[in-house]
Amino acid sequence: MAELYLGNVEESVSDEEIGEFLVRYGFPQYSSIQRLHGTGSRPAAVVVFDDVTTDGLRILQNRIHNLFWKNHTIVAQLLPERDES
């Protein structure tokens, strides 16, 4: 399982739109999306990929990091793997 943090994604952007955006840039279909509201000035989303390794996402991350989408510059960062035990 790998997780991708997407910063500067407005809450009004649907999960489907995020998925379509990622697929357009070569990402596989996501497993789930968790929204992070924060203070409201920089909303974000954590996109979970169950069937992809962190190393696999690392190659794709550079395709969208600092890309201008939906009137914002997207920040794409890989989250460290968590020990689920």
Classify residue 27: in a domain, yes or no: yes
Number of separate domains in the chain: 1
Q: Is 47 exposed, middle or buried (0-12, 13-18, 19+ CB in 10 A)?
A: buried
Question: What's the rounded Cα separation, in Å, for the pair 28 and 2?
Answer: 12
Please give the DSSP secondary-structure letter assigned to residue 31. Answer: S
Helices (H), the chain: 15-24, 54-64
Classify residue 17: in a domain, yes or no: yes
Classify residue 22: in a domain, yes or no: yes
Classify residue 9: in a domain, yes or no: yes
Write the pLDDT tens digit of every residue in 56-66.
899 999 999 99
- Predicted confidence at residue 56, as pLDDT, reads 87
Classify residue 32: in a domain, yes or no: yes
Q: How far is CA 69 from CA 1, 17, 75, in A?
A: 26, 11, 10
Classify residue 83: in a domain, yes or no: no
Question: What's the rounded Cα separation, in Å, for the pair 23 and 21?
Answer: 6
Write the pLDDT tens digit of every residue in 7-58.
999 889 999 999 999 999 999 999 999 999 877 678 999 999 998 988 889 9
CATH of the domain at 34: 3.30.70.330
The single residue listed with the structure tokens 């990622």 is: 22
Classify residue 85: in a domain, yes or no: no
**Host domain of residue 54:** 2-78
pTM of this structure? 0.90
